Amino acid sequence: MASPSDARSDSVGLQRFGLGFGLGQSAEIRSSVRDRLLAEIDRRTPPQPSGVPFSGAAEIGAALYAFEDRERIEREARRTTESKVAAVPAASSNQMAQPKPANEPALPYKTYRDEVSARVRLALEAETGLSERLVQFWSNHFCVSATKSNMTRIMAGAYEREAIRPHVFGRFEDMLVAAESHPAMLDFLDNRLSIGPGSPVGKRRKRGLNENLAREILELHTLGVSGGYAQIDVTNLARIITGWTVVGREAVLGFPGSFAFNAGLHEPGTPPLLGKPYGQPGKEKGLAAFSDLARHPATADFIAIKLVRHFVADDPSPALVRDLSAVFRRTEGDLAAVSRALIESNAAWTAEPTKIRSPQEFLLAAFRALGRKPDFGQVIGPLNAMGQPFWQPSGPNGYPDSNDAWASPEGVKTRIDVAAGWGRQAAGSVPDPRALTEDILGPLLSPQTRAAVARADSKPQALALMLMSPEFQRR
Amino acid sequence: MVDDDDDCERMTPSRRAMLGAAGALFAWSFVPKFAYAAAGSRDPRFLLVVLRGALDGLSAVPPIGDPDYAALRDDIALMRDGPDAALPLDGFFYLHPAMPNLARLYASGQASIVHAAATGYRERSHFDGQDVLESGQAGPGQTESGWLNRLIASLPPGEGISQRGVLGVGVVPPLVVRGEAPVLGWAPPRMARAGSDLIQRLEDLYGQRDPGLARALSQAVTTEGIARRSGMSGEAKGGGGPDSAEGMKRIADGAAALVGADDGPRIAALAFEGWDTHANEGGAKGRLAQLLGGLDGALASFEQGLKPVWKDTVVMVVTEFGRTARVNGTVGTDHGTGTVAFLVGGAVKGGRMIVDWPGLKPEQLYDKRDLKPTTDIRGVAKGVVSELFGLSGPVLAEKVFPGSGGIGPMAGLVG
């Protein structure tokens, strides 16, 4: 039998590394949380969401180009009609310009909607939620934002499925390459537009480098801002990855909307990055640079500190960060080994729960606890209000990851508004909020929260109090 | 110290306007006579607007009179005449045509523009740049508190301004307001508000179990009270975010209502987003023009919403750094250094370009690529807050902007 303190640590662990206890889950989970988390790592491949509208980025790209062409034709048709109407007042209605059904969003948003819904379903069905939390973490580390363009909007879900999810227990280098070569990233950080000034195309046209992606690779994806690079490294990495682009609608280099290396855009030469020259041919040059960046000690330190800060505490324990960084270096970025080291660490396991759940974690944990299956609107509305909708951070540094950001006065107040709404929606399906609170919070439940829930003036209020209790909010 | 001002203004083509004041800042070495006391009978309001993503100062306030401007800017250069002509400021500098309200305020002496300005940060990371701008520290990595929070904490205890706290707009408060002094939060409401009984029960529970949540909630409740008393509806609406004109207006309207309330905070910070124009930035029309139009609308919202106290108000608009002087390979601009800052409000001694123009020839650019910064934004901020709130030079140099002793408060910004 587990001792009371083990039982408490296990319950903290389920919230810290997973998505919390779900309604209808067997109580056995509580007594074997750590084993289940480790077994999930050993399975290596997290499940993929089902019921998504397109299987992959290439298929989506073709659909996107077709959609944009259709929109353009309709716009032109409308313009023609309008000018005809102006000339001939009684012009008949134009069949090309059939308006869309009133409630049907355009293809990019519809795809985003279906991707979010599939993503949420998977998280609600997960046993511990560890894989889903890691997908969130890495998706935010290598973030794209759906608000940038039609392409990032329609591909944001596919990007996570293709570039992030398969690698969360794989190699960091593979995730890095998958992320930086994904059409969504190449569009989000403009590399698809970047042209080597000395490349065949660059010499013909008045176009050149765009260093946006190169800078963020060094600053945000690998070394970190204090990782020891300079402006010249940013510019040279931009040169190294010229030609990493997205196939256009003319499908010259492959399937429309898929990744391609376009040698015609690639800057010739042997630019040094961090003092080492890269002279490989074509795409190999970038792959060689990524391989070195993925193994750089600054990358190991940066990933370690971000992981500990996300999962354990805003002020990470230096010893734990050192340990994880050492594992990262020793295994050359084996993310299963790094995740395992985090969960096996007693420092990570026994730390007091101080971190406030992010809005996405809070939403998923709440729907698991209440046993509800939300529709898209019930997901995106609260997440917009709380400031963390899926795949829409305001910059390439992703969503913040600290109590300062999420436990702000306005943040806490908005959570209460959201929890009040969920309490009202769930009240009909929860027979006894007191029993539910005992189930969900288990050994974490304090006498004060128990009393507050018991004294609530209504079922909705009791549920809102459970969801907003410190035990549910912090992990 | 600014006696030469008018002479300087007449020297317009030489681009040395306000150099008397700008030069004096390096000689700053005494405690100003108005320390604390001289705030006088004014009940000042100060709003800081942070433009996240690095505003292209050379497009917002184009130096069309500079002979090198048009060639550097190529496809996105603005023109002094034609259908989308830039708005004239002083014959050398112009204002982006999407900003008619700012042009009007400038013409009526209620806005000044600082050009070729930057913080002390000289790298090109947005996130470190914003941290330096908001923390008020000399370099990145010290993000425990923001300079507006330390400013409030530096005011005499019991002072009305410090007791009212600093307002940070947004679900996630900007770093510049974070810290030990009271922080109020507000964001345009998107959800139906919870009932007051639930709030009271949670205040009770947090009071027993969780001091951090208790503090946050009590500050939120305080702000909501002010909002209600100042007639804000609290009705939930959807609509654009802080990178759209609609969103900027809602944020500005809300901040103005709170800061304008009798019992409201006197100091606030808010952020508008989307200024990172790497590709297809646009010239007189396009992406940046839309954002500048949104900012211009927000300035009009401040003027309208703060009308009774506008004469005592300064709105300061800043960004983490500028963008490359030369247009890049994708008809946009990459991360740079020098840029503009705006001072707007009835309390601003306005109608002036505050600039020591470095020029745009290759050897005049910073790192041969960016507008060279010649004015430190900290000196501008120190000048404004020292005159509005009567803080002394040493307090500003040690507590509010640590390590900035060499950069004195710029004098004569507030009239």
The ipTM value here is 0.91
Q: Which of A81-90, A223-232, A240-249, B389-398 has the lowest mean pLDDT?
A: A81-90
A31 and chain B in contact, CB less than 8 A: no
Q: Say what the pTM is.
A: 0.83
Q: Tell me which residue in A189, A395, A408 faces B185 most closely, judged by beta carbons.
A: A408
Provide the token pair at B279.
């590709």
Query: Are the beta carbons of A190 and B221 separated by less than 8 Å?
Result: no
Q: What distances in angstroms separate CA A132 from CA A36, A44, B55, B385, one per listed residue?
A: 14, 13, 37, 47
Q: Considering only alpha carbons, which residue of chain A is nearest residue B187?
A: A410
Q: What is the pLDDT of residue A93?
A: 41
What would the DSSP string read from start to end of B34-70?
TTTGGGTT---EEEEEEETT---HHHHS--TTSTTHH
Q: Is residue A13 within 8 Å of residue A34, measured between CB atoms?
A: yes
CB of B389 within 8 A of CB of B156?
no
CA torsion sign for A31, A35, A37, A39 is negative
The model's confidence at residue A96, banded by pLDDT at 50, 70 and 90, is: very low
Which residues from chain A sit within 8 angstroms of residue B140, using beta carbons?
225
Q: Which of B132, B330, B335, B369 to mutate to test the interface with A (most CBs of A within 10 A)?
A: B330
Joined tokens for residue A232: 């010249």
Q: Which pLDDT value is given to residue A103?
A: 63
Backbone φ and ψ for A87, nearest 5 degrees, come out as -80, -45
Q: How many CB atoms lie within 10 A of CB A205?
A: 12
Residues contacting residue A182 through CB under 8 Å, at least 6 positions apart: A57, A144, A155, A159, A162, A163, A259
- Which two structure tokens, joined as six digits, stand for A146? 């759906």
For tokens 């050993």, what's the residue? A42
Which amino acid makes up residue B266?
A: R
Q: Report the pLDDT value the prediction gives residue A329, as an integer from 0 to 100.
A: 98
The beta-carbon neighbor of B171 closest among A225, A386, A457 is A386
Helix H or strand E encompassing B317: strand B313-319
Using alpha carbons, list the distances in angstroms from residue A60 to A53, A108, A306, A369.
9, 9, 32, 35
Residue of B nearest to A397 (CA): B127
Across the interface, do A195 and B187 touch by the CB < 8 Å criterion? no
Angle (deg, nearest 10), helices B196-209 and B211-229? 150
Find residues 255-294 of chain A whose CB sits inside 8 Å of chain B: none
DSSP class per residue in B364-378 = GSBTTTBPPP-EEHH
CB pairs under 8 A between A and B: 181
Asked if A148 and A191 touch (Cβ cutoff 8 Å), the reply is no
CA of B30 vs chain A CAs: smallest distance (Å): 37
Distances (CA, A) of B150 to B50, B176, B391: 17, 9, 12
Pick A394's closest partner by Cβ from B52, B224, B367. B52
Query: Do the chains contact at A465 and B208, CB–CB below 8 Å?
Result: no
Shortest CB distance from A412 goes to which of B126, B216, B274?
A: B216
Give the 3-state secondary structure of residue B228: helix
CA distance A228 to A218: 10
DSSP class of residue A474 equals B
The single-letter DSSP state of residue A437 is H
- A209, A381, A386: residue with CB nearest B329: A209
Cα–Cα distance between B110 and B114 in angstroms, integer?
14
Any B CB within 8 A of A245 CB: no
Q: What is the pLDDT of residue B9?
A: 34
Strand, coil or helix: A264: helix
pLDDT in tens, chain B (415 residues): 333 333 333 333 334 444 333 333 333 333 333 333 344 568 999 999 999 999 999 999 999 999 999 999 999 999 999 999 999 999 999 999 999 999 999 999 999 999 999 999 999 999 899 999 999 999 888 888 999 999 999 998 776 888 889 999 988 889 999 998 988 888 888 888 888 899 999 999 999 999 999 999 999 998 888 888 887 877 766 667 888 898 899 999 999 999 999 989 999 999 999 899 998 899 999 999 999 999 999 999 999 999 999 999 999 999 999 999 999 988 999 999 999 999 999 999 999 999 999 999 999 999 999 999 999 999 999 999 999 999 999 999 999 999 999 999 999 999 8
End-to-end CA gap in chain B: 14
Supply the pLDDT for residue A102: 53
CA B264/CA B284 separation, integer angstroms: 38
Asked if A446 lies within 8 A of B209 by C-beta distance, the reply is yes
User: DSSP string covering B296-316, please?
Assistant: HHHHHHHHHHTGGGGGGEEEE
Contacts of A400 in chain B (CB under 8 A): 172
Total residues found in chain B within this entry: 415
Closest CA to B226 of B177, B182, B271, B259: B259
Which pLDDT score is estimated for A419?
97
Query: Considering just the CA atoms, what is the radius of gyration of chain A in Å?
Result: 25
How long is chain A? 475
- Give me the pLDDT at residue B29, please: 32
Instruction: Categorize the per-residue pLDDT at A85 as very low, low, confident or very high, splitting at 50, 70 and 90.
Output: low
Q: How far apart are CA A344 and CA A356, in angstroms?
A: 22
pLDDT at position A84 is 62
What is the rounded distance in angstroms from the CA atom of residue A401 to the CA atom of residue A140? 10
Sort out which chain A residues have CB atoms less than 8 A from B50's CB and list them.
none
CB contact burial A392-416 (16+ within 10 A = b; e otherwise): bbbbbbbbbbbbbbbbbbbbbbbbb
DSSP string, A112-134: HHHHHHHHHHHHHH-SS-HHHHH
* Chain B residue nearest residue A386, CA to CA: B171
The residue in chain A having the minimum alpha-carbon distance to the alpha carbon of residue B179 is A404
Q: Do A395 and B223 touch (CB under 8 A)?
A: no
Q: What is the spatial distance between Cα A408 and Cα A402, in angstroms, rounded to a whole number?
A: 10
Domain boundaries, chain B: 5-188+238-400, 191-236
Question: Where are the extended beta strands (E) located within A107-253?
Answer: 244-246
| CB contact A411 to B (< 8 Å) | yes
Residue A425 near chain B (CB below 8 Å): no
Across the strands, what pairs with B47?
B268, B315
Average pLDDT estimate for A32-42: 96
Q: What is the pLDDT of residues A97-154, one digit of tens each?
A: 444 555 678 999 999 999 999 999 999 999 999 999 999 999 999 999 999 999 999 9
Q: How confident is the model at residue A4 (pLDDT cuts 50, 70, 90)?
A: low
8 Å CB contact of A395 and B126: yes
With helix as H, strand as E and coil as C, how does B233-299 read? CCCCCCCCCCCCHHHHHHHHHHHHHHHHCCCCCCEEEEEECCCCCCCCCCCCCCHHHHHHHHHHHHH
Report how far residue B323's alpha carbon sits from residue B60's, in angstroms, rounded to the nearest whole number: 11
In chain A, DSSP finds a helix count (H) and a strand count (E) of 24, 4
Q: What are all long-range contacts of A456-459, with beta carbons under 8 Å and residues at least 24 apart?
A: A456/B201, A457/B197, A458/A427, A459/A423, A459/A427, A459/A430, A459/A433
CATH 1.10.150 fits B5-188+238-400, yes or no: no
Per domain, the residue ranges of chain A are: 4-32+356-473, 57-84+107-180, 189-295, 297-350
Q: What is the pLDDT of residue B28?
A: 35
Is residue A394 very low, low, confident or very high in pLDDT (cuts 50, 70, 90)?
Answer: confident
Q: Which residues of A touch B187 (CB under 8 A)?
A: 410, 414
Say how far apart CA B347 and CA A462 lie, in whole Å: 51
Determine whether the interchain pair B209/A419 forms a contact, defined as Cβ–Cβ distance below 8 Å.
no
